[in-house]
Structure 1
Amino acid sequence: MTGMVSGCSWIFGTDDGNKGDEKPVLSLFGSGSKMISGYVGNVVADEPQAALAAMTVLQRGGNAADAATALGLALSVTLPSRASLGAGGACVAWRPGDRDGGKAFLFLPTGDAPADRVQGTTAHADRPASVPMLARGLFLMQLSHGSVDFAELTRPAIQLARNGIEVGSQLAADLDVVQSPLLADEGARKIFARPNGTVMKAGDMLLQRYLAGTLERIRSAGPGDLYTGSLAQVVISANATTGAGLTMAGMRTSVPVVATPLTVTVGEMQVSFVPPPADGGYGMAVAWKALMNGRSSSDLGRQAVAGWRASEAKASVGTLTARAQSLLQSGHIPTGGGSLPDLPASTSFAVADRKGGAVACAISMDNLFGTGRVAGSTGIVLGASALHRPRPILSAAIAHEDGRFLATATASGQADAADAAAAALANGLHGQIKATTSMGRANVIACRGGLPGDGRRCQSWVDPRGSGYGTGATQD
């Protein structure tokens, strides 16, 4: 079947290798792997090739966290303008039986440069970069909720990078927007330029052999190598040409956070949202709550995010989540935040598996192609420092009731992301999946009967104004 689609936190340590992972070494892609039968799940994403990689993981027996991890890594190949390994993001993950809202995983773009100093000197940083957070964040999420060894999930991305992909319409559009500054970087020019010196167009073949090597190294040595090992050394040594200003101290200490999601309860249904400092989840919660109470949410999510940013103080994730949860319960919305900048440099995706497990993520480079520079021979397009760009609005949520998955929605589009995701989730829960008038681009999975249950009643939907892909499948 194909459809149209407050709590404490703890910080993950710095050993990101596969050591200590007690998951079964199940080969999803080896010669002995098999395709399962029946309903396998649903996937929605802004980029079709990455979505198909996730669907393949579901078809081979992986769960939602496995498929979402493969999807995120594949996006680093197929949509590096918004989700390279240099990106950051946030995810919420939920499993049937979870009564506490599941878990949120925050691996936001960092502000490592240029503040970090090494041996009394400031790292060269004419174009400050974020620490590449994507691999570390996905690893932590999959370690907590996945069912197979992380190394298995790098294989689709490696194959895409090594064998080449057709440039999709979204990547082509992003290349067209930033072609002059992007091609000014020699590393980026080698990857994204045609022989005649212009940027690639939709349908061109894009090979990324250096990135394939980096992904292969992550597969064999674990993602920790990108933060404390040989890959980290390559990224740091490239500072002279990238102007990234990254340091080994910053690479080592920039770690994801596991947090309690924001939750809103309506009747017997509970919705889990990514929590602050991923404040797009707070804005989404405010707008969704208004919609479910029969009120218009007209730009309410945008206003809530702006007000939150104007009033928040620096605090731990747990403190910020508790404050946002209190505001949601009181119905008070901070004001005075002014306008929010549009920064179309994000993407989002969601996965639901046949047992009702679900993962929803929003990813950002904090600028199209981040810094626009590639980290040496790693093939990684570096994300922009969060100290020097507007913070991304990351919106994602999962709805569940009585231990059963109901729906999930995510969105990109920066200022409009929270409102788009809220409207999409409300529409999906009401069985009226349709486009929103917001400029935000939403992705939705909705299962009218809930999961576990009859997967044939699940629908996937992506915004028709984009180039995304939504699918659900029953495997014979």
Structure 2
Amino acid sequence: MKKSPLSLLGLGQAARTGYVGTVVADEPIAALAAHDVLLRGGNAADAAAALGLALSVTLPSRASLGGGGACLAWKPGDRDGGRAFLFLPTGDAPQDAQQASASRADRPASAPMLARGLYLMQIRYGSVDFADLTRPAISLARAGFEVSGQLAADLSVVQAPLLADEGARAVFGRVDGSALKAGDILRQPRLAGSLERIRSGGVGDLYSGALGQTLVAASNAAGGGLTMAGLRSALPASVAPLTVTSGNVSVSFLPPPADGGYGTAVAWLGLANGQGSSSRGRQAVAAWRASEAGGSVGTQSARAEALLNSGHAPANGGTLPSLPASTSFAVVDRDGESVACALTMNNLFGTGRMAGSTGIVLGASAAHKPGPLLAAAIAHRRADVFLAASAASGQADAADAAAAALTGALGGNVKAMSPTTEAGRANAISCPGGLPGEGERCRGWTDPRGGGYVSASDGS
């Protein structure tokens, strides 16, 4: 379906008035970019795509073009719970030692999944040309922006190994040799060039065109070991979400292999049944990975949904190893269309290396690392009314944080959205009056312990 161009972002269309939607995210600048899309006439999927691309600029520690993630999307009228879009970072580089040595892949990179995943989600649920949604990210990369507290904190954690890479040091380093601090200006002209290529040549240019060839050459020079064959075969999936119904409320969750959604479902059901636990979701994921993981996406999803609906989903599976960092966000528009996403690099700043002239931070291969917990959920009444959404980060605590936030959001209790987990950081939207309809009652929430931001038309 051909979509109309979006006359926004300085291109002349007047801003909407009244309630246009709510955006919640871990990073303020990207959240504002998404809200501007809503103000200028885009829907939730348009805003979410713009937000994800903006995060590749403003929070490349967790959401570079070199990484990936997963999104849920739902709109009134979806009678199957909407769709889940899975674009997790994969292992593309040579896996055995002999191949790695021959290709100099000393830090295997993942295939870049973010652009392709956001494109698939937006082409299915969006209302405008995807190319227009790259403009906020391009502008931020070219003009620069103030480093947020979240990005500064991530830089401080990996400062020494990250700045050992010449390309990363040129972007993220100060003249005194230290990493950028909160409030410093970060400009990324090379990344702006890559985003401009995606805008003008389409997303396919990153996977089968000249931009992809440049990325492969640069990744090999940086020890990433990407191949054109690997880029071409790295395809996102559009699948049915996990769905759980309680009374007249249905909740959609990310399905495995984004198994943080399964953990969120188990934890939410426990809270709904008075069996609250700050680690129930984490333990459910550990049990899942120990006994149920494996097989096709469809097979995994069917097994997970059967366990949830049977009432016997295991909630005590031991512990999880140290998991990769992630970031999350959620968007709803005035008509009730909603998107909730979690993104990751499979490691803070992925491989810690920049892909040459592309300006893209390479994500880490998933082949030798435990998968992240990508947690997101959307609640709706029947198939017509949006009620709440949540998404979370925080390594092993993400599922429990998302479940706690969802419970509070469904109850219309902003204070109750706060997770009880130590590391979990949630973003949530609550519309107790339902959308479409009572937008003035919608509220967004982000964890006050983090650097998140809520953007809504009423200024809240």
Aligned to 1:7: none
Aligned to 2:449: 465
More displaced, 346-355 or 430-439?
A: 430-439
1:313 CA displacement: 4.4
Indicate conservation of the 8 Å contact 1:105/1:137, yes or no: yes
What amino acid is the match of 1:169? G
- 1:39 is paired with a residue whose SS is coil
Indicate conservation of the 8 Å contact 2:66/2:112, yes or no: yes
1:228-279 C-alpha deviation (Å, 9 max, x unpaired)? 1111111111234311111111110000000000001000000000101100
Structure-to-structure mapping, 1:37-436, within 5 angstroms? 37-115=17-95, 123-334=103-314, 337-343=317-323, 345-402=325-382, 403-434=384-415, 435-436=418-419
Identity %: 67
CA distance in 1, matches of 2:293, 2:155: 37
- 1:42 is paired with a residue whose SS is strand
CA distance in 2, matches of 1:459, 1:416: 23
CA distance in 2, matches of 1:175, 1:147: 36
CA distance in 1, matches of 2:228, 2:145: 33
- Structure 1 residues 367 and 117 mapped into 2: Cα distance closer, same or farther (>3 Å)? closer
What amino acid is the match of 1:367? N
Matched, 1:437 2:423: no
1:79-107 C-alpha deviation (Å, 9 max, x unpaired)? 00000111110000000111110000000
Aligned to 1:453: 437
1:48 CA displacement: 0.1
1:314 CA displacement: 2.5
- 1:304 is paired with a residue whose SS is helix
- Structure 1 residues 245 and 55 mapped into 2: Cα distance closer, same or farther (>3 Å)? same
CA distance in 1, matches of 2:99, 2:160: 36
CA distance in 2, matches of 1:461, 1:174: 22
1:369 CA displacement: 0.3
Indicate conservation of the 8 Å contact 2:46/2:122, yes or no: yes
Indicate conservation of the 8 Å contact 2:324/2:371, yes or no: no
Q: Kindly indicate whether structure 1 or structure 2 has the higher relative contact order, using CA contacts under 8 Å at least 6 residues apart.
A: 1
CA distance in 2, matches of 1:207, 1:25: 28
- 1:466 is paired with a residue whose SS is coil
- 2:457 is paired with a residue whose SS is strand
- Structure 1 residues 217 and 235 mapped into 2: Cα distance closer, same or farther (>3 Å)? same
CA distance in 2, matches of 1:221, 1:390: 34
CA distance in 2, matches of 1:101, 1:287: 19
What amino acid is the match of 2:218? A
What amino acid is the match of 1:458? C
TM-score where L is the length of structure 2: 0.96
1:33 CA displacement: 1.4
1:303-348 C-alpha deviation (Å, 9 max, x unpaired)? 1101111112421111111000000011223477431133352000
What amino acid is the match of 2:414? I
CA distance in 1, matches of 2:305, 2:437: 31
- 2:19 is paired with a residue whose SS is strand
TM-score where L is the length of structure 1: 0.93
1:112-152 C-alpha deviation (Å, 9 max, x unpaired)? 11239999995331001111100000000000000000001
Indicate conservation of the 8 Å contact 2:167/2:356, yes or no: yes
1:419-467 C-alpha deviation (Å, 9 max, x unpaired)? 0000100011112223222020000000010000121100000000000
Indicate conservation of the 8 Å contact 1:151/1:220, yes or no: yes
What amino acid is the match of 2:433? G
Indicate conservation of the 8 Å contact 1:344/1:412, yes or no: no
Q: Which ranges of structure 2 fall in alignment gaps of 5 or more residues?
A: none
- Structure 1 residues 390 and 117 mapped into 2: Cα distance closer, same or farther (>3 Å)? closer
Moved over 6 A (4+): 116-121
1:76 CA displacement: 0.5
More displaced, 383-392 or 348-357?
A: 383-392
- Structure 1 residues 69 and 117 mapped into 2: Cα distance closer, same or farther (>3 Å)? farther
CA distance in 1, matches of 2:246, 2:102: 51
- Structure 1 residues 381 and 456 mapped into 2: Cα distance closer, same or farther (>3 Å)? same
CA distance in 1, matches of 2:151, 2:292: 35
More displaced, 420-429 or 25-34?
A: 25-34
Aligned to 1:31: 11
- 1:38 is paired with a residue whose SS is coil
What amino acid is the match of 1:437? T
CA distance in 2, matches of 1:271, 1:336: 23
What amino acid is the match of 1:210? R
Aligned to 1:3: none
Indicate conservation of the 8 Å contact 2:66/2:360, yes or no: yes
- 1:96 is paired with a residue whose SS is coil
CA distance in 2, matches of 1:328, 1:364: 26
- Structure 1 residues 344 and 441 mapped into 2: Cα distance closer, same or farther (>3 Å)? farther
Indicate conservation of the 8 Å contact 1:86/1:132, yes or no: yes
1:176-213 C-alpha deviation (Å, 9 max, x unpaired)? 11000000101101100011111111111101000000
Cα-Cα RMSD: 1.8
- 2:91 is paired with a residue whose SS is coil
CA distance in 2, matches of 1:218, 1:275: 29
